[in-house]
Amino acid sequence: MDVGAYLKDALAVLLEVRPANPHLFLLAYFQWASHPESLEGLAWYLLKACPRTRDCFQDHLHTAYTCLKGKSEAASHQACEGLLQSLAAPLPITQQQHLLRRLRAVSDEGGRVGFRDFCEVVEECILQLDTDPVLHIPWKGVSVPNSGANTPP
Quick check: is 82 in a domain?
A: yes
- Residue 136 domain-assigned (yes or no): no
Extract long-range pairs of 18-23: CB within 8 Å, 24+ residues apart: 19/49, 19/140, 19/141, 19/142, 20/138, 20/140, 20/141, 21/138, 21/140, 21/141, 21/142, 22/141
pLDDT category, 150, cuts 50, 70, 90?
very low
Mean pLDDT (whole number) for 8-12: 81
DSSP state of 112: E
**pLDDT(140) > 50:** no
140 falls within a domain = no
Does residue 141 sit within a domain?
A: no
Number of domains in the chain: 1
* Boundaries of domain holding 94: 3-131
Is the distance from CB of 138 to CB of 24 less than 8 angstroms?
yes
Q: Rounded to a whole number, what is the distance in angstroms from the first to the last CA of the chain?
A: 34
User: Could you tell me which of 143, 132, 127 has the C-alpha nearest to residue 52?
Assistant: 127
Residue 91: pLDDT above 80? yes
Strands (E), 20-146: 75-76, 112-113
Is residue 13 assigned to a domain?
Answer: yes
pLDDT at 50: 73
pLDDT digits (tens, 9 = 90+) for 28-84: 777 767 766 666 777 777 777 777 777 778 887 887 888 788 778 888 888 899 889
d(C-alpha 135, C-alpha 126), whole Å: 12
Q: Is the pLDDT of residue 143 over 60?
A: no
How big is the chain, counted in residues? 153
Per residue in 95-104, pLDDT (tens digit) is 999 999 999 9
3-state secondary structure 30-57: HHHHHCCCCHHHHHHHHHHHCCCCCCHH
> Nearest 5 degrees, angle CA 58-CA 118-CA 126?
60
Least confident range from 10-14, 105-109, 140-144: namely 140-144
In a domain, 112, yes or no: yes
Is residue 147, in this structure, part of any structural domain at all?
A: no
Residue at 18 is within a domain: yes
Residue 152 banded pLDDT, cuts 50, 70, 90: very low
